[in-house]
Amino acid sequence: MPLLSRDTFATLSASSALGAKINQQGSRLNVAGKQSLCAPENIINAENSGTTLRIFAVMAALVKKGFTILTGDASLRKRPMQPVLDALTQLGVECYSSQMNGFAPILIRGGGIHGGNVSIDGNISSQFLSSLLISTIYAKSPVSIRVRGQQVSKPYIKSTIAVMKKFGVTIDYEKDFLEYYIEKKKYRPTEFDVPADFSAAALLLSAGVLAGRSITLKGLDFSLPQADSKILEILKDMDVEISVNKNRGEVKVVGSEIIEGGSFDLFDSPDLLPVVSILALKARSPVKVTGIAHARLKETDRVTNIASQIKKFGATVIEEKDKLLITAPRAPRNSTIQTFNDHRLFMAFTIASLLTEKSVVEGAEHIDVSYPNFLLDLIKLGAKIDYQ
Q: Say which DSSP state 197 is in.
A: P
Cis upstream peptide for 105 (omega within 30°): yes
Query: Considering just the CA atoms, what is the radius of gyration of the chain in Å?
Result: 21
Beta bridge partners, 290, equal: 265, 323
Spot the catalytic one: 271, 322, 342, 386: 271
- 5-59, pLDDT tens digit by residue? 999 999 999 999 999 999 988 889 999 998 899 999 999 999 999 999 999 999 9
DSSP codes of every residue in 86-127: HHHHHTT--EEETTSSS-SSEEEE-S----EEEEEE-SS-TH
Distance separating the N- and C-terminal Cα atoms of the chain: 28
Q: Rounded to whole angstroms, how far apart are CA atoms 58 and 78?
A: 19
| Secondary-structure percent of the chain, ordered helix, strand, coil, rounded to 5 | 35, 20, 40
Nearest by Cα to 109 from 57, 185, 172: 57
Percentage above 70 pLDDT, the chain: 99
**Ranges for all domains in the chain classified under CATH 3.65.10.10:** 6-182, 198-380
**Overall CATH class of domain 6-182:** alpha beta
pLDDT of residue 1: 67
Phi, psi of 268 (to 5 degrees): -95, -5
pLDDT recorded at residue 357: 95
Averaged pLDDT, 132-140: 98
Query: Average of pLDDT values for 77-102?
Result: 97
Name the more confident of 1 and 200: 200
Question: Dihedral (C-alpha) 278, 299, 7, 50: value to the nearest 10 degrees?
Answer: -130
> Residue 147, exposed/middle/buried by CB under 10 A (0-12, 13-18, 19+)?
buried
d(CA 80, CA 45): 16
Arithmetic mean of pLDDT, 167-177 = 96
The backbone torsions φ and ψ at residue 27, rounded to the nearest 5 degrees and listed phi first, read -95, 15
Mean residue pLDDT across the chain: 96
DSSP annotation string for 305-348: HHHHHHGGGT-EEEEETTEEEEE--SSPPP-EE--TT-HHHHHH
Nearest CA among 53, 56, 68 for reference residue 111? 68
CATH superfamily of 198-380: Enolpyruvate transferase domain (3.65.10.10)
pLDDT of residue 91: 98
Where in 156-272 does DSSP place strands (E)? 172-173, 179-182, 215-217, 241-245, 250-254, 262-265
DSSP code at position 26: T
| Closest among 238, 230, 347, 314 to 283, alpha carbons compared | 238
Say whether pLDDT at 181 is over 80.
yes
207-254: per-residue pLDDT in tens?
999 998 899 999 999 989 999 999 999 999 999 999 999 999 999 998
User: Across residues 303-309, what is the average pLDDT?
Assistant: 98
CA distances from 110 to 36, 133, 367 (A): 11, 18, 35
Q: What is the mean pLDDT of residues 324-330?
A: 97
pTM assigned to the model: 0.94
Q: Say how far apart CA 87 and CA 145 lie, in whole Å.
A: 9
| CB-CB neighbours of 318 under 10 Å | 12
Decide if pLDDT at 72 tops 70: yes
φ and ψ at residue 84, rounded to 5 degrees: -70, -45
* pLDDT (0 to 100) of residue 77: 97
Catalytic (active site) residue 265? no
